[in-house]
Amino acid sequence: MAPGKFYFSFLCFLSLLLFLTDAVNVSHDGRAIIIYGQRRILISGSIHYPRSTPEMWPDLIQKAKEGGLNTIETYVFWNAHEPVRRQYDFSGNNDLIRFLKTIHEAGLYSILRIGPYVCAEWNYGGFPVWLHNLPGIEMRTTNNVFMNEMQNFTTLIINKITEEKLLASQGGPIIIAQIENEYGNVMGAYGDAGKVYIDWCASMAESYNIGVPWVMCQQSDAPQPMINTCNGYYCDQFTPNNPNSPKIWTENWVGWYKSWGDRDPHRTAEDVAFAVARFYQSGGTLQNYYMYHGGTNFGRTAGGPYITTSYGYDAPLDEFGNIAQPKWGHLKKLHEVLKSIEKNLVYGSVNETDLGNSVEATVYATNGSSSVFLSSINTTSDATVTFNGKQYTVPAWSVSILPDGQTEEYNTAKINVQTSLNEHWPNEAEKQPESLKWVWRPENIDDALKGKSHSSANKLIDQKEVTSDASDYLWYITSLHLDEHDPIWSDDMSLRINASGQVIYAYLNGQHIGTRGAKHGISSDEVEFKIKLNNGKNVISLLSVTTGLQNFGSFFDTWPTGLVGPIEVVGRKGEQTIIKDLSSHKWHYKIGLDGWDKKFFSEESSLNTKWASDQLPTNRSFTWYKTTFKAPLGKDPVVVDLEGLGKGFAWVNGYNIGRYWPTYLTAEDGCTNDPCDYRGEYSNAKCISNCGKPTQKWYHVPRSFLKDGDNTLVLLEEMGGNPSYVNFRTVSVGTACGNAYENHTLELSCQSRPISAIKFASFGDPQGTCGSFNKGTCESNKDALSIIEKACVGKQTCSIDVSENTFGSTNCGDITKRLAVEAVC
Ligand code: GAL
């Protein structure tokens, strides 16, 4: 056994023994987190529990463990747990304790980022909106009202985890906790009060005395003993503000999130691996993938405005929990190598040498053993360097790891695992969409159009204040008496609305006069609708719809929401423009939608509600649709295709699966067919796909929401659409491409399905990418395709020794040969 592997197994054994017997405080020095007296290399990944279901957690955590993680990180989501002040919810997806216990049972550690401000593309950054409405509150600064609430919630969480003995100091999994989140990025805007606040956060955290270290991310002046940590795409250049703080990377963004209108971001496996390897090369000892599993923003949890329901993040586990290849596998191999040299990394002496050609060598050595990183930050040319008398080729923008100081075992730019392309498989339980029979009923908007309301005021009020975010929907209604003698009266009149980051449906005297969705972003939007007023009384009913509340930025909590005003009637006569400001009129407010209040989506209520089965309307706004369907067979994740619909919400068996908006198309430009170049710094504008298409057409329906027999799907359609195309599918690998260098073993897997055919295979210098491979200029003399057919067809998984032994000799000269395979599942 290699010394590294022995050391690792010994540590596992020691840890197990101590888990079973005694609990030990977690501490740290300037080099690493120290657990059971040993400095450790920690490899962590974010999985946010409310973005999946308790039924999914064991599988996600197991896949994370198999992927080589030893730690799982999560935020704590305040508004999920305390939706109403002092009324708590820790059930279902919000069962934080069950999540932490699942991590513990899998033998992994956990990092608990309590926040309780979390950002996270989560509604209002995790703050409950009732907080905003407490008199005298100012958030994230020295303010007693806020600090009391923050302390109350933090104490609740600390008490809960302590009662359940979940801290490592009690024998539990939690080795690190976080207070606040990236406050350093916005602190300047809060002036001196900001500094006092962050000091207070630190002393409050310390006062809990939890026996594990606290971190503050992006807080370069973190008060001691808080460990300040780095977030970003690369953190190799980061240095903590205290020599006694280890170098920790709390968010390694493996991809990026999406807003409605955004194309799909993609960060390559090569670049993520490069960033990770550079981080450990430069003395980092703990990094966390943000996200390892992104998941789904169910219900109304998406942040905003305009964050999509999918929070896939291009993570190593996709939104549905499938292994995303090659990212998952390429990183797994990196983790194996890093763990094999753990002892050298955390205890070894460090020696850095510049080898020229943009190549840096770092040697970590303990008695008799040394491990080496060779990294190149050149973005275009590969380099050949001599190190300890031996020649090495280091591809551009890559890191080679030589665990024994001599032999390259891993290079971040050389992928030796399969690339999987997902397929959406038809529902074998019934033929959809044909078999889906729809019924419908209108949403009752008549009351609002006639002016009925819940409350009124002589001003326009911010939507958060009126609704406390109990609903996306708020009617602003006013009446206007005008006659033709009024100076504003003309043939050219319009209604001008200043709104903030919202969707607006506008009606005048019961007639729809227009709909506007602000382009994504938080911009104030001036919206103008042409109108024809009645001579006498007029009723203006404006429905303002939120799509997730702002979740980041300084004072983000105070950013206006809803119809902020002014709202004006504009009359134009020739050169003359006359404006009547309606902002301080008497405005009536009506919260929510009637069908939502009556729970048309719930199983019981949908039985008691009258649904029409004749003449299914299409393109009708504010319409409820309902159908029953059979769940797809098997265990693969289920998605529903909502293309054809406009915007709204969907429920399956009463579970709100999130906002849908397939008509929101992405920009046409920016996607190319060229293979994505992993070299050079990543930004989320690089390597994008899905141009000119629905931002999101597939919506996740977790298996646990489904049952045998009939299931119910209910849609609330706001804008108008056609449900006839809706169909349920399963999502899993459809194409498995292998692309491996010689002297490696390539595993091909169709996960739950057998490999049905081999479309392409060549050993030599094949060109192209998965889905469009071509033969190169040289090839092996045996028929690679039939060799792989024999080894793989009919099996779910097969393993191929990529070498001349298997494929025969080649006429490729002394290049490193590769095998490319495209298998059909
Ligand atoms: C970070 C923040 C995270 C998340 C991320 C982007 O700045 O800490 O919560 O919002 O950005 O996905």
Domain count, the chain: 4
DSSP letter at 519 equals: P
Protein residue with its CA nearest to atom 5 in ligand 1: 120
Ligand 1 atom at minimum distance from 119 CA: 9
Ligand 1 atom at minimum distance from 217 CA: 8
Contact (Cβ atoms closer than 8 angstroms) between residue 759 and residue 786: no
Give the three-state DSSP class for 262. coil
Distance CA 178, CA 532 (A): 57
Ligand 1 atom at minimum distance from 256 CA: 12
Read off φ and ψ for residue 581, nearest 5 degrees: -85, 120
Predicted TM-score (pTM) of the model is 0.95
Q: Is 57 in the pocket of ligand 1 (CB under 6 A)?
A: no
pLDDT for the residue 304: 87
| Domain contains 241 | yes
Ligand 1 atom at minimum distance from 291 CA: 12
Q: Is 178 in the pocket of ligand 1 (CB under 6 A)?
A: no
- Domain final residue pick, 298, 322, 347: 347
Span from the CA of 291 to the centroid of ligand 1 (angstroms): 10
Of the candidates 396, 421, 401, the one whose C-alpha atom is nearest the C-alpha of residue 411 is: 401
Q: Is 257 in the pocket of ligand 1 (CB under 6 A)?
A: yes
pLDDT for the residue 223: 97
Distance CA 447, CA 594 (A): 9
Protein residue with its CA nearest to atom 6 in ligand 1: 120
| Domain contains 154 | yes
Span from the CA of 284 to the centroid of ligand 1 (angstroms): 20
Distance CA 819, CA 740 (A): 5
Mean pLDDT computed over 389-410: 97
- Domain final residue pick, 592, 613, 629: 592
pLDDT for the residue 523: 52
Q: 62-103 pLDDT, tens per residue?
A: 999 999 999 999 999 999 999 999 999 999 999 999 999 999
DSSP states of 632-700: PSSSS-EEEE-BTB-SEEEEETTEEEEEE-TT-BPPSSS--SSPPP--S---TTSS-B-TTSBS--EEE
Amino acid at 750: C
The answer to whether residues 570 and 657 belong to one domain is no
Span from the CA of 122 to the centroid of ligand 1 (angstroms): 10
Q: For residue 180, indicate whether it is catalytic.
A: no
pLDDT for the residue 5: 45
Q: Is 182 in the pocket of ligand 1 (CB under 6 A)?
A: yes
- Any idea how long the chain is? 825
| Domain contains 532 | yes
Contact (Cβ atoms closer than 8 angstroms) between residue 78 and residue 116: yes
Q: 578-593 pLDDT, tens per residue?
A: 999 999 999 999 999 9
Distance CA 335, CA 272 (A): 12
Span from the CA of 268 to the centroid of ligand 1 (angstroms): 19
Distance CA 82, CA 155 (A): 13
Which helix (DSSP H) or strand (DSSP E) does residue 591 occupy? Answer: strand 587-591
- Contacts of residue 817, defined as CB under 8 A and 6 or more positions apart, other chains included, come to 741, 742, 763, 764, 765, 780, 804, 810
> Tokens 């506008």 belong to which residue?
506
Protein residue with its CA nearest to atom 4 in ligand 1: 120
pLDDT for the residue 519: 55
Long-range contacts of 221-226 (CB under 8 A, 24+ apart): 221/184, 221/195, 222/184, 222/198, 223/198, 223/199, 226/179, 226/202
Distance CA 765, CA 777 (A): 7
pLDDT for the residue 714: 97
Ligand 1 atom at minimum distance from 120 CA: 9
Q: Is 119 in the pocket of ligand 1 (CB under 6 A)?
A: yes
Span from the CA of 232 to the centroid of ligand 1 (angstroms): 9
Residue 672 has pLDDT above 90, yes or no: no
More confident residue, 9 or 598: 598
| Domain contains 491 | yes
pLDDT for the residue 1: 41
* CATH number of domain containing 554: 2.60.120.260
3-state secondary structure 482-509: ECCCCCCCCCEEEEEEEEECCEEEEEEC
Other beta carbons less than 10 A from residue 353's beta carbon = 13
pLDDT for the residue 474: 97
> Is the peptide bond prior to 225 cis by the omega test (within 30 degrees of 0)?
yes
What's the angle, vertex CA 96, arms to CA 90 and CA 97, rounded to 5?
A: 100
Span from the CA of 410 to the centroid of ligand 1 (angstroms): 30
Structural domain harbouring 817: 742-824
Amino acid at 69: L
Q: 11-44 pLDDT, tens per residue?
A: 444 444 444 445 778 999 999 999 999 999 999 9
The answer to whether residues 801 and 749 belong to one domain is yes
| Domain contains 543 | yes
Of the candidates 103, 146, 652, 679, the one whose C-alpha atom is nearest the C-alpha of residue 396 is: 679
Protein residue with its CA nearest to atom 9 in ligand 1: 120
Long-range contacts of 602-605 (CB under 8 A, 24+ apart): 602/654, 603/653, 603/654, 603/712
Protein residue with its CA nearest to atom 10 in ligand 1: 120
Span from the CA of 113 to the centroid of ligand 1 (angstroms): 12
Ligand 1 atom at minimum distance from 257 CA: 12
Residue 679 has pLDDT above 60, yes or no: yes
Distance CA 512, CA 621 (A): 10
pLDDT for the residue 525: 66
Long-range contacts of 160-166 (CB under 8 A, 24+ apart): 160/90, 160/96, 160/97, 161/97, 161/100, 161/112, 162/210, 164/97, 164/100, 164/101, 166/97, 166/100, 166/101, 166/104
Positive or negative torsion for Cα 131, 118, 123, 655: negative
Q: Is 216 in the pocket of ligand 1 (CB under 6 A)?
A: no
Pocket test of ligand 1: the residue of 75, 118, 119, 683 to mutate, having most ligand atoms within 8 Å of its CB, is: 119
Span from the CA of 338 to the centroid of ligand 1 (angstroms): 26
Span from the CA of 106 to the centroid of ligand 1 (angstroms): 27
Q: 470-529 pLDDT, tens per residue?
A: 999 999 999 999 999 999 999 999 999 998 868 999 999 999 999 988 554 445 567 899
Q: Is 557 in the pocket of ligand 1 (CB under 6 A)?
A: no
Q: For residue 251, indicate whether it is catalytic.
A: yes
Span from the CA of 467 to the centroid of ligand 1 (angstroms): 27
Strands 567-573 and 576-581: antiparallel
| Domain contains 620 | yes
Q: Tell me the longest C-alpha to C-alpha distance in the chain.
A: 98
Pocket test of ligand 1: the residue of 140, 186, 251, 297 to mutate, having most ligand atoms within 8 Å of its CB, is: 251
Q: Is 121 in the pocket of ligand 1 (CB under 6 A)?
A: yes
Strand-pair partners of 217: 229
The answer to whether residues 570 and 646 belong to one domain is no
DSSP letter at 43 equals: E
Q: 440-465 pLDDT, tens per residue?
A: 999 999 999 998 898 999 999 999 99
Span from the CA of 713 to the centroid of ligand 1 (angstroms): 33
Span from the CA of 176 to the centroid of ligand 1 (angstroms): 18
- Contacts of residue 625, defined as CB under 8 A and 6 or more positions apart, other chains included, come to 438, 439, 440, 616, 714, 715, 717, 723
Residue 7 has pLDDT above 80, yes or no: no
Q: Is 181 in the pocket of ligand 1 (CB under 6 A)?
A: yes
Distance of CA 318 to the CA centre of its chain: 10
Distance CA 9, CA 160 (A): 33
Span from the CA of 119 to the centroid of ligand 1 (angstroms): 6
Q: 181-212 pLDDT, tens per residue?
A: 999 999 999 999 999 999 999 999 999 999 99
Which of 73, 82, 251, 342 is catalytic? The answer is 251
Mean pLDDT computed over 259-273: 96
The answer to whether residues 600 and 588 belong to one domain is no
* CATH number of domain containing 808: 2.60.120.740
Give the three-state DSSP class for 132. helix
The answer to whether residues 19 and 58 belong to one domain is yes
The answer to whether residues 633 and 708 belong to one domain is yes
Protein residue with its CA nearest to atom 11 in ligand 1: 120
Ligand 1 atom at minimum distance from 75 CA: 9
Give the three-state DSSP class for 621. coil
Q: 127-138 pLDDT, tens per residue?
A: 999 999 999 999
> Tokens 């596992």 belong to which residue?
12
Contact (Cβ atoms closer than 8 angstroms) between residue 281 and residue 375: yes
Distance CA 417, CA 325 (A): 8
Span from the CA of 121 to the centroid of ligand 1 (angstroms): 7
Pocket test of ligand 1: the residue of 122, 231, 235 to mutate, having most ligand atoms within 8 Å of its CB, is: 231
Residue 8's pLDDT band, with cuts at 50, 70 and 90, is very low
Distance CA 629, CA 358 (A): 59
Contact (Cβ atoms closer than 8 angstroms) between residue 234 and residue 276: no
Positive or negative torsion for Cα 640, 645, 651, 657: positive
| Domain contains 388 | no
Q: Is 73 in the pocket of ligand 1 (CB under 6 A)?
A: no
Of all residues in the chain, what percent carry a pLDDT higher than 90?
90
Mean pLDDT computed over 666-692: 92
The answer to whether residues 632 and 586 belong to one domain is no
Strands 419-426 and 727-741: antiparallel
The answer to whether residues 632 and 763 belong to one domain is no
Of the candidates 313, 338, 324, the one whose C-alpha atom is nearest the C-alpha of residue 69 is: 338
pLDDT for the residue 518: 58
Ligand 1 atom at minimum distance from 121 CA: 10
The answer to whether residues 712 and 724 belong to one domain is yes
Ligand 1 atom at minimum distance from 552 CA: 10
Per-residue buried b or exposed e for 370-384, using 16+ beta carbons within 10 Å of the residue's own CB: bbbbbbbbbeeeebe
- Domain final residue pick, 542, 575, 592: 592
Read off φ and ψ for residue 495, nearest 5 degrees: -110, 125
Beta strands in 202-316 (DSSP E): 214-217, 227-232, 248-253, 286-293
Contact (Cβ atoms closer than 8 angstroms) between residue 231 and residue 251: yes
> Is the peptide bond prior to 433 cis by the omega test (within 30 degrees of 0)?
yes
Which of 73, 182, 443, 822 is catalytic? The answer is 182
The answer to whether residues 62 and 115 belong to one domain is yes
Q: Is 231 in the pocket of ligand 1 (CB under 6 A)?
A: yes
Q: Is 652 in the pocket of ligand 1 (CB under 6 A)?
A: no
Give the three-state DSSP class for 131. helix
Distance CA 825, CA 571 (A): 64
Q: Is 175 in the pocket of ligand 1 (CB under 6 A)?
A: no
Q: 695-749 pLDDT, tens per residue?
A: 999 999 999 999 999 999 999 999 999 999 999 999 999 999 998 899 999 999 9
Q: Is 120 in the pocket of ligand 1 (CB under 6 A)?
A: yes
pLDDT for the residue 517: 80
pLDDT for the residue 609: 79
Residue 782 has pLDDT above 50, yes or no: yes
Residue 605's pLDDT band, with cuts at 50, 70 and 90, is confident
Q: Is 270 in the pocket of ligand 1 (CB under 6 A)?
A: no
The answer to whether residues 158 and 244 belong to one domain is yes
The answer to whether residues 615 and 523 belong to one domain is no
Across the chain, mean pLDDT equals: 94
| Domain contains 375 | no
What's the angle, vertex CA 566, arms to CA 561 and CA 567, rounded to 5?
A: 100
